[in-house]
Chains A and B, each alone.
Chain A
Amino acid sequence: MISIKNLTFYYSGGDKPSLRDINLEIGDGEFVLLTGPSGGGKSSLCRCLNGLIPHFYGGKITGKVEVNGLDVTKHSTRELATMVGMVFQDPENQLVATDVDSELAFGLENLAFAKEVIARRIEEALDTVGIVNLRHRATSELSGGEKQRVAIASVLALYPDILVLDEPTSELDPKGAEDVLNVVERLNDELGITVILVEHRLDRVVAHSDRVIVLENGMITADGGPRSILSDGRVSQSGVGIPPIIKLAQAVKSRGMSLRVKRSNFIDDTPLTVKEGRIALAKTLRHSKP
């Protein structure tokens, strides 16, 4: 459970706030997609969630950020590390050990867990992420996608309730990105871990997300379900990469045809997956035949 009230943040030496008056609540088990133009404050918001802001970065922070009821300004990154796991953009610069099992042990060692506990948790984390085969490999020999999955496993070993991923796939090839996103989706589905994902490949993850938040100039400019946010004209103008299937749906609608995506309990007009789009379009075209 994350609760942010009136959060404004300036990096030290910055005269423009990187985050302005953010108000946000994120419930347990939600899959939140954080998007928006670069420099919009996505990374800064992520860093507030595990206390890197203000403990690591300094700067000026006003308002309140609470994670599981703990005020991040008053609790150290050490305490927050067991609640919020953070995965960063560059796979090269977040692995510190020489091989995979030491990498997974790193956080647990820092928190002074006993050797037996560490061994068990490494086993679990490797298994959860599905990288048991990488266990004894040297981190320098892994591919980008493997490195990112090791990074995910290394924070999972701390048993966080919340996983924050700051553009985890932007440096990866499509296959590596796919592997990483599959893991993230599975963690949310099966373990109920709250996921906050900063991601540009919206077309890939949007169908899985519960909520999309758009950050621009440090402010939340849109917040809601993926269908309503992405079909919103204002959002598409702000530089957010709207998935092609939604663009197609918009183009169809702008030509005066109606598009109906049938979902379990109600009917919507924005398809999120190619399958939804295909079915809806087939129906529309059948109806529009003379």
Chain B
Amino acid sequence: MVSYKYSDKGTVIHRLNPWCKLAWIAAVFVLALLFDSPVYLLLLSLSTLPVILAAKIWKEWLSVMRFAFFLCLLIIVINALVSNQGSHVLYQFPVAIPIVGAPRITLEGILWGIGNSLRLLAIISAFTVLMFAIHPDDLMLAMVKAKLPYKSVMVTSLSTKFVPALIDDAQCIADARKSRGLELDRGGRIQRVKSYASIAIPLLSNSLDRAVQVAEAMEARAFGSGEKRTFYKELKLDKVDITILSFVFFSVAFGIFSCCSGQGGYQYYPVVEAVSLTASEWAMLFVLLLLVNAMPILALLKRKVSLD
């Protein structure tokens, strides 16, 4: 069982300034949207792996990816059924389905689904770093420094903190109900909805109680009372952090440049294109991926230098 909570693994990635990680995630996001070529997207997805490995969050990553694969499968199936612009027909449904019509499965439709799944995988993979390798407090502080209102940021951070408590609470109520003879998975659909409602109602009332108690405890420690508030922890950028940030920005700029010069494009419809890259395109792609991975490399170097 993988827990979906942040835990400080103390790796170079965990130790890194959150701004670097946030910029890196944003960069992968932008690059994933810039390019259409499945080669670019596949390699971009793979180039997130060094960060995942360096942060030692592969277990969490795997379990998120399992869910992502399911999502991708859904995209591929739905797109194959709905899209009928392709020209290589693999199978023509003999009967019409309401709304969709008689689906025509084409090679292009399936490939489009696969190509865009790669895009999604790259983005989700980068976001696992946000979930598992950025300390929630650091994230909160970064948000505040980005001039988001402190109270809203605090509420968001609190709500993520209380999700595990809510799950425990639900489990506890369910156990209490079961021990008094409630059978959650028995009976017809309506009966089951009723059984679950009998958990939802006490859960809701407990949560409201909890909310009031937390608010009270915060008020007792002067929360939100003054115009000004200081922050004990700071997000200071050192030279290495700034270097990493410049590399990340440069990777996006380089991506935009190569996109504008006509690289990384791809056409699925009406006839799927052959995937072929010239030597110079390969070279530029390689440079781009190297830039994306400047963060883990520099982070590792930083640790090494500071140890020396």
Contact = CB atoms under 8 A, between A and B. Distances in A.
Given A98-B135, A158-B221, A109 B229 contact: yes
A158 B225 CA distance: 15
A92 B169 CA distance: 12
A95 B158 CA distance: 10
A97 B217 CA distance: 12
B189 interface: no
Interface in A67-96: 76-78, 81, 85-86, 88, 90, 92-96
Interface in B229-258: 229-234
A81 B222 contact: yes
Interface string A123-164: 000000000000000101000000000010011001000000
B135 A110 contact: no
B137 A110 contact: no
B218 to A, nearest CB: 6
Contacts of A86: 217, 220
Contacts of A99: 137
B233 A52 contact: no
A60 interface: no
Given A77-B225, A112-B226, A96 B232 contact: no
A85 B136 CA distance: 27
A70 B226 CA distance: 19
B223 interface: yes
Given A88-B213, A140-B5, A96 B230 contact: no
A113 B229 CA distance: 8
A98 B137 contact: yes
A111 to B, nearest CB: 5
A4 to B, nearest CB: 19
A97 B232 CA distance: 12
Contacts of B7: 138
13 contacts: A76-B225, A78-B226, A95-B217, A96-B217, A98-B136, A102-B232, A110-B225, A111-B222, A112-B228, A113-B230, A115-B231, A140-B5, A151-B217
Interface of A: 50, 52, 55-56, 76-78, 81, 85-86, 88, 90, 92-99, 101-102, 105-115, 118-119, 122, 138, 140, 151, 154-155, 158
